[in-house]
Structure formats: C-alpha cells, structure tokens
Amino acid sequence: MRQVILSTGLVLAVLLVAAACDRSRPVAEAEKDGRPAGSDTALLAPVGVAGWMGNDEGVEDYQEGRWEVAEGLFRKAIKADPRLAEAHFNLALTLDKLGRHEEATASFRKALELAPNNPRITDSPILKEHTKK
C-alpha cells in the first residue's frame, strides 16, 4: 500500500513539473485565434530569473486586456531585472495596445538589444513594424 501511495505521489509530482514547464501555451492560443505566433503574444520569462513572477502575472493581465495592470507588472519585472528581455517586449506590446507608440518602439528596441538571438522577439511582426527605419 505504501508503495502505491509513493508511486502515485511521484506521478503527480512529475505531471505538475511538466505542466509548470509548458511555455508554449501563449503561442498555441495565438495560433488558434488565427494570429501568427509572436504577433502580439506576450512572452513568459524563464522561471527563476529575477522579475519572472511579475512578468508572468503581467502576461495574464495582458491576455485579459487589463493593459494598465499589465504595464505596472512589466515595469515591476524590469525593475527587478533590467536585462529581462521578455518583460521589455511585453511592456512594448502593452504600450502599443495603450496607443503609446513612441514608448512602445523604445521598449521593442530594448528587447532587441537584450535578446538579439531570440526569434520569439526578433521575428515578431509588431516589433518589426515599430522598429523599421
């Protein structure tokens, strides 16, 4: 009986870890809506880096259309880790939604500077639109 309980606990723990590590959800949701992945999909931050919790909370508010709340959370994440490219990118998306396009462009450029090899950032159509010269 004890072995069954331990095995069940182990299986549940593995499932929880797998669910927590699933970082593809925002992209998959965007694709279901007919939008190209990365067009205006907020990005989750790597777990454990400074600012990741604020960023990921901001992603939830962004997805729900609570732009002002999301903006504050992304700024909090950036304050915790100024090098968190995902937070800069997400802040830019939010500023774009709020109609603050010059600020959005500056944040997109900062995200590009911090993560020049991250295709989820560099291949974003909305980022390209803001940063074209």
**Domains of the chain by residue range:** 23-131
State the pLDDT at residue 25: 39
Q: How many CB atoms lie within 10 A of CB 32?
A: 8
Whole-number pLDDT of residue 4: 59
**What separation in angstroms does the CA of 101 have from each of 19, 42, 76, 118, 127?**
35, 17, 20, 22, 11
23-131 CATH, one of 3.40.190.10, 2.40.40.20, 1.25.40.10, 2.40.110.10: 1.25.40.10
pLDDT in tens, 51-79: 999 999 999 999 999 999 999 999 999 99
**In the chain, % of residues over pLDDT 70:** 70
Write out residues in the chain with pLDDT < 70, as ranges. 1-39, 133
